[in-house]
Amino acid sequence: MTNLEPLPADEWFIENPDFRSFVATVQEISNKSNHRSETLNEIEPYFSQLLSQQKWLPKKFAEPNPNSQMGGGIGQWLLYRSQDRALTIFSLVIPPGSTTPVHDHLAWGLIGLYKGKQEETVYRRVDNGLREAHADLEIVEERQLQPGDFYHLLPPEGDIHAVKTISETASVSIHLLGNDTGCIWRHQFQPETHSVKSFRSGYSNAPCKEEKNYVSI
């Protein structure tokens, strides 16, 4: 018989009324619709407003992380994680000149630029995935992002990308995603060698716990 543990509580890593109000709105919208494209469209204006406000994100969550699991000093700072791990919000801080690995997210969501400037390369996987550790990618789009710009993730569309900071200061993007992104196993790609491997990016400020069986209380 499986031992069931109570679900952990929602985790908040910043205390700010505007941020709490935003999360409550996102939860209300996402709970009433199973059509994620509609969910994202409804969340858009609230997300845009959050990106335009420059006082809610503490400075420590807009700093690089020299011990980053993603490399290049990239900081992935968890801001909020829901009880059921079905929603996370985090900031991704990329130092000047650094680039993320080519990676996927395996989740619906919104990603928006809060500070700095970025260059994003979006890929599409074109092989059938049957060869172990092999993946063929093609570039779908290359674009530059300014503060306030954001985009949807609706896998498989737009789910594989790499991001580079092209400003003289670190770029900070806000990620709202429908899974525990830093703690799930997802994919890191090497387009030049047509290879792929599993990876877990982790968070700069929160550990990943082993999977457990939970029950609501």
Q: What is the DSSP string of 58-70?
A: -GGGGS--TT-SS
pLDDT tens per residue across span 137-189: 999 999 999 999 999 999 999 999 999 999 999 999 999 999 999 999 999 99
What is the distance in angstroms between the CA of the first residue and the CA of the last residue of the chain? 19
Q: How many Cα atoms occupy the beta-carbon half-sphere of 113 within 13 Å?
A: 21
- Which domains does the chain possess? 10-205 (2.60.120.10)
Counting residues of the chain whose pLDDT is more than 90, the rounded percentage is: 85
Band of pLDDT at residue 7, cut at 50, 70 and 90: low
| Distance in angstroms (rounded) separating the CA atoms of residues 163 and 50 | 21
What confidence tier does 34 reach under pLDDT thresholds 50, 70, 90?
Answer: confident
Q: How confident is the model at residue 20 (pLDDT cuts 50, 70, 90)?
A: very high
Half-sphere exposure of 143 (CA within 13 A, CB side): 12
Q: What is the pLDDT of residue 1?
A: 39
Name the more confident of 176 and 68.
176
Mean of the per-residue pLDDT values of the chain: 92
Paired sense of beta strands 137-145 and 186-190, if any: unpaired
H or E stretch at 31? helix 17-31
pLDDT in tens, 48-60: 999 999 899 999 9
Q: Give pLDDT, residue 3.
A: 53
